[in-house]
C-alpha cells in the first residue's frame, strides 16, 4: 500500500515537475488532426512537396482564376511570389461566398461594447450589405484599386467593415492602432501617401468615454497632403468639427451609396494591406502583404490551429490595429465562415471579471489572448474567473510574447479547468500568420514552448556567424529557410530596407530577429528579441524611435533605451539619458521627457524609468553597448560581462550606483 501510494506520488510529482500536457481523448477524437503520426505525415509531405501541399490548401479559397506556378522565390533578392497570375478577392472570400452557399443568415460577427449592455450581431447577409455600401462610399470619395486608405479607429464593427470594403475594391488598407498619437499617425499616412482616412468621432475604452479620435486626426491632417477625404463613423455622438468638402459622415455616405458593388478581381500578388511595425531605425516599416498567399495561409492556420468547427464562437482579444487582429479576427476566421467576436473594451473594466463575464455570456468556445493580459488578470486572484461559468471553453491560445510558466499554468488550470489545450503561437507582423505552434489534438504541450513548426514551415537555428545548428539541444538565431504563403513581400516604398532587415544578416535566409532554443525533444522555445525591438504588453517598440523622441527635449544630449522585465507588461522601458552640459537635472525634465514620448508615439511607449547619467557605455568606435545597459536595467549588475572594450569603463560604476 505504502509503495503504491509512493509510486502514485512519484508519478504525480514527476508529471507535475516535467510539466507536459497531453491532449485528452475527447479533443483528439474530434480534432481535424488527432495524432502525432498524422501531423508527422502531413508535415513531411508539406516539406517534401511544398507546391503540392499549398496547392491543395489553396482549395479552401475561392478563385476566379487559378495560378500557373505555386511559388517563385529568391531570398538573395528578397523576391517572393505565391500563386502569381491567379485571381481572387479577399472580401468575396470572407463574405459573399458564404452568402452564396446559403449561410447568409448565420452570425458572422459578435460585437461586445465597452459597456456590456451594448452588443451587436451581424450575419453574413448583414455584412454583405454593409460592406457593399461602405465600398461604394469609398468609391464615391474617389478611392480606386491600388489607392491606400488609412484606418484609425477603435474596436467597433465599422472597423471590420472598413477593412473588408477596402479589400472589395482593391484599395490597400493601412490600419493605425487607435492609441497611436497624431505624430505617429502622420508619419504612417505620409509614408504610404494615403488618399482617404477613415476614423470615428470619439472612442470608448474602459473608463475613458471620449477618446478624441477625430480631433487627433484633425491635428495630423494639417501635415498630410495626400489625404483628400475623411470618412467619420459616429460612435459617441460627441461634438465633432467637420470640415466642409473634406469630412464626410460614414452614415450619410452609406445612405447615399449604391447598394451593389461587385468585388474587384485582384491578382494573388496584388497588395492587400500595409501594417506598420517598429524597426531598428526610427522610421516605422510599412510591412506589405499581398492577397492570395495571405488568404490561403491565414485560413489554413485558423482551421488547423484553432481547430475551428462550424458554429463555434471564436474570440481573439487582440486589437485590429495589430497583425493578430487582421489575420485572426478578420481574414482567417471570416474566410472560414467562423463566428468571430470583437471587443471594444479592456479586461479590467468595469472590473477584473470582464473577460470571463463575456465568455459566459456569449458561450465562447475558443479564446485567444496575450500573456500580458493573463498576467494582469492572474494578479487579481482566482475569484474573478471563478464567479463565471467557463465551461463553454474548448481551446485556449496565446500570442505576442513568450508566455512564462506561472501564467501558462494559471491559464491551464483556472481558466481551462485542465481540460482545454493551450496553443502558444509564435509569429510576427512580417510572417502574416502563425508559424510555430502546438496543434490541439496532437501536441503534448509544455508551458513556455511554442513547440513545433506548422505545415510547410522550416525553421532553423543559426549561430552569429550563420552556421546552421543541427540537432537538438541548441540555441541560436531563429531563421526560416524558405518562404510560406503569407510572408510579407516588401517594405512599402523601400525594397532595399526589406532586404537589409530580413535577408542580409544571414544570406539566403529570412531572419526573424528572435533568439530561440530547440530542446531535446525538438521543441522550440522563443527566448526573445535579439535586435533593438522591445515588446511591452505585446506591443513592438523600436528603441531608435523612442530614443529619437527623447532626443527632441531641448536639454537632452543623448539617450539609450532598453527593456527590463516587468511583472505584468513582460518588459518595461528604461531610459538612460545624458543632458547637455550645464543643464540641470530636475523632476520636471523627467516628466517633460515622458510627455514628449507619449505625444510622439503613444502612451504604450512611455519610459517607466529614466536615469540621468554623465555618460553612456560606448565602444571605442562609439557604439552604445546595450548589453551592459540591459543588465543594469534588469538589476543583473553582477553579470555585466566584459567591459574592457569600452572607451571609458568608469561610466559603468556610476551607472550601477545610480540605478533606479
Ligand atoms: C514575439 C505578433 C514568444 C516575438 C503576432 C516576435 C512571441 C514578435 C510569440 C512579433 C510567442 C510573438 N512566444 N514570442 N508565442 N508571439 N512573439 O509583429 O518576439 O507584433 O518576433 O506579431 O513577438 O510581434 P508582432
- Tell me which residue has its CA closest to atom 7 in ligand 1: 401
DSSP 8-state symbol, 658: T
Return all residues near 316 (Cβ < 8 A) that are at least 6 apart: 324, 325, 328, 329, 333, 340, 341, 368, 369, 397
Cβ neighbours for 585, distance < 8 A, ≥ 6 positions apart = 579, 612
pLDDT confidence of residue 18: 65
Other CB atoms within 10 Å distance of the CB of residue 118: 13
Residues contacting ligand 1 via CB (< 6 Å): 277, 322-324, 399-402, 424-429, 450, 512-514, 526, 529, 535, 540
Q: Which three cell numbers stand for residue 83?
A: 500563386
Within 10 angstroms of residue 517's Cβ, the number of other Cβ atoms is: 17
Q: What angle is formed at CA 524 by the lines to CA 523 and CA 529, rounded to 5 degrees?
A: 165
Buried b or exposed e, range 200-232, using 16+ CB within 10 angstroms: bbbbbbeeeeebbbbbbbbebbeebeebebbbb
- Half-sphere exposure (Cβ direction) of 575: Cα atoms closer than 13 Å: 30
Best residue among 324, 397, 426, 429 to mutate for probing ligand 1's pocket (most ligand atoms within 8 Å of CB) is 426
pLDDT tens-place string over residues 555-597: 998 899 999 999 999 999 999 999 988 888 899 999 999 999 9
CA of 541 to the centre of ligand 1 (A): 12
Q: Which grid cell sits at 624?
A: 552604445
Contact 165, 253 (CB under 8 A): no
Q: Would the pLDDT of 7 be above 60?
A: no
pLDDT digits (tens, 9 = 90+) for 158-202: 999 999 999 999 999 999 999 999 999 999 999 999 999 999 999
* pLDDT, position 4: 47
Q: What CA–CA distance (Å, rounded) separates 426 from 430?
A: 12
| 283 band by pLDDT with thresholds 50, 70 and 90 | confident
pLDDT of 280: 64
CA distance linking residue 274 with residue 492, whole number of Å: 7
- Is the pLDDT reported for residue 11 higher than 90? no
Spacing, Cα 38 to ligand 1 middle (Å)? 27
Q: How far is the CA of 298 from the centre of ligand 1 (A)?
A: 16
Closest residue to atom 25 of ligand 1, CA basis: 428
Please spell the DSSP secondary structure of 617-639, one letter per residue. -BBTTS-B-HHHHHHHHTT-GGG
CA of 428 to the centre of ligand 1 (A): 5
Ligand 1 atom having least distance to the Cα of 436: 15
The b/e string for 518-554 (b: 16+ C-beta within 10 A; e otherwise) is: beeeebbbbebbbbbbbbbbbbbbbbbbbbbbbbebe
Q: Is the dihedral of CA 593, 596, 598, 604 positive or negative?
A: negative
Q: How far is the CA of 539 from the centre of ligand 1 (A)?
A: 9
Reported pTM: 0.91
Q: Distance between CA atoms of 478 and 428, rounded to whole angstroms?
A: 12
- Centre of ligand 1 to C-alpha 193, Å, is 28
For the chain, how many helices (H) and strands (E)?
Answer: 23, 30
Q: Answer yes or no: is pLDDT of 219 > 90.
A: yes
Residue nearest atom 4 of ligand 1, based on CA coordinates: 401
Query: What's the whole-number average pLDDT of the chain?
Result: 94
Residues 6+ apart with CB under 8 A from 206: 114, 345, 346, 348, 349
Burial of 481 (0-12, 13-18, 19+ CB in 10 A): middle
pLDDT of residue 62: 98
Spatial CA neighbour of 157 closest among 348, 13, 320, 278: 320
Ligand 1 mean position to 87 CA, how many Å? Answer: 31
Amino acid at each position: 500500500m505504502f509503495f503504491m501510494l509512493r509510486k502514485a506520488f512519484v508519478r504525480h510529482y514527476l508529471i507535475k515537475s516535467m510539466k507536459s500536457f497531453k491532449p485528452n481523448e475527447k479533443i483528439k477524437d474530434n480534432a481535424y488532426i488527432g495524432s502525432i503520426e498524422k501531423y508527422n505525415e502531413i508535415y513531411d509531405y508539406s516539406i517534401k512537396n511544398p507546391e503540392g501541399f499549398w496547392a491543395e490548401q489553396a482549395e479552401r479559397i475561392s478563385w476566379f482564376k487559378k495560378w500557373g506556378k505555386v511559388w517563385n522565390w529568391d531570398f538573395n533578392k528578397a523576391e517572393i511570389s505565391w500563386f502569381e497570375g491567379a485571381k481572387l478577392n479577399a472580401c468575396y472570400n470572407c463574405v459573399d461566398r458564404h452568402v452564396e452557399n446559403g449561410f447568409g443568415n448565420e452570425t458572422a460577427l459578435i460585437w461586445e461594447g465597452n459597456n456590456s449592455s451594448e452588443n451587436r450581431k451581424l450575419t453574413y447577409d448583414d455584412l454583405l450589405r454593409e460592406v457593399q455600401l461602405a465600398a461604394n462610399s469609398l468609391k464615391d470619395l474617389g478611392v480606386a484599386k491600388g489607392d491606400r486608405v488609412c484606418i484609425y479607429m477603435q474596436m467597433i464593427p465599422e472597423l471590420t467593415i472598413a477593412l473588408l470594403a477596402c479589400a472589395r475594391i482593391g484599395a490597400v488598407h493601412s490600419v493605425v492602432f487607435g492609441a497611436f498619437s497624431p505624430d505617429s499617425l502622420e508619419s504612417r499616412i505620409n509614408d504610404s501617401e494615403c488618399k482617404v482616412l477613415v476614423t470615428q468621432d470619439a472612442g470608448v475604452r474602459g473608463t475613458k468615454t471620449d477618446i478624441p479620435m477625430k480631433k487627433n486626426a484633425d491635428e495630423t491632417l494639417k501635415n498630410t497632403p495626400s489625404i483628400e477625404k475623411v470618412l467619420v463613423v459616429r460612435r459617441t455622438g460627441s461634438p465633432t468639427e467637420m470640415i466642409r468638402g473634406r469630412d464626410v459622415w460614414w452614415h450619410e455616405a452609406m445612405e447615399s451609396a449604391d447598394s451593389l458593388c461587385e468585388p474587384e478581381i485582384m491578382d494573388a500578388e496584388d497588395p492587400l494591406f500595409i501594417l506598420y511595425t517598429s524597426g531598428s531605425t526610427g522610421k516605422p516599416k510599412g510591412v506589405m502583404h499581398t492577397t492570395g498567399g495571405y488568404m490561403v495561409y491565414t485560413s489554413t492556420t485558423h482551421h488547423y490551429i484553432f481547430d475551428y468547427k462550424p458554429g463555434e464562437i471564436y474570440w481573439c482579444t487582440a486589437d485590429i490595429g495589430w497583425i493578430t487582429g487582421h489575420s485572426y479576427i478578420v481574414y482567417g476566421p471570416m474566410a472560414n465562415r467562423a463566428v468571430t467576436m470583437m471587443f471594444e473594451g479592456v479586461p479590467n473594466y468595469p472590473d477584473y471579471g470582464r473577460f470571463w463575464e463575456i465568455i459566459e455570456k456569449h458561450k465562447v468556445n475558443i479564446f485567444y489572448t496575450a500573456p500580458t493580459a493573463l498576467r494582469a488578470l492572474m494578479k487579481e486572484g482566482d475569484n474573478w474567473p471563478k464567479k463565471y461559468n467557463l465551461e463553454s471553453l474548448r481551446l485556449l491560445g496565446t500570442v505576442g510574447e513568450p508566455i512564462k510558466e506561472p501564467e501558462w499554468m494559471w491559464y491551464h488550470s483556472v481558466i481551462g479547468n485542465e481540460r482545454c489545450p493551450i496553443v502558444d503561437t509564435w509569429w510576427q507582423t512580417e510572417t502574416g500568420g502563425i508559424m510555430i505552434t502546438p496543434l490541439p489534438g496532437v501536441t503534448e504541450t509544455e508551458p513556455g514552448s511554442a513547440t513545433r513548426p506548422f505545415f510547410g514551415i522550416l525553421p532553423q537555428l543559426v549561430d552569429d556567424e550563420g552556421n546552421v545548428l543541427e540537432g537538438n539541444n541548441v540555441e541560436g538565431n531563429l531563421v526560416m529557410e524558405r518562404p510560406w504563403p503569407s510572408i510579407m513581400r516588401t517594405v512599402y516604398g523601400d525594397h532595399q530596407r526589406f532586404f537589409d532587415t530580413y535577408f542580409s544578416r544571414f544570406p539566403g535566409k529570412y531572419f526573424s530577429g528572435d533568439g530561440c532554443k530547440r530542446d531535446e525533444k525538438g521543441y522550440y522555445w522563443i527566448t526573445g528579441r535579439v535586435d533593438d525591438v522591445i515588446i511591452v504588453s505585446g506591443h513592438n517598440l523600436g528603441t531608435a524611435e523612442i530614443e529619437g523622441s527623447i532626443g527632441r527635449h531641448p536639454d537632452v544630449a543623448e539617450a539609450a533605451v532598453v527593456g527590463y522585465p516587468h511583472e505584468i507588461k513582460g518588459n518595461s522601458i528604461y531610459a538612460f539619458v545624458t543632458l547637455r552640459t550645464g543643464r540641470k537635472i530636475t523632476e520636471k525634465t523627467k516628466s517633460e521627457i515622458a510627455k514628449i514620448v507619449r505625444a510622439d508615439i503613444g502612451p504604450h511607449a512611455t519610459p517607466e524609468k529614466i536615469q540621468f547619467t554623465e555618460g553612456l557605455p560606448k565602444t571605442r568606435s562609439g557604439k552604445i553597448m546595450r548589453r551592459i545597459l540591459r543588465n543594469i536595467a534588469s538589476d543583473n549588475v553582477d553579470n555585466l560581462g566584459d567591459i574592457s572594450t569600452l572607451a571609458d569603463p568608469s561610466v559603468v560604476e556610476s551607472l550601477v550606483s545610480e540605478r533606479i
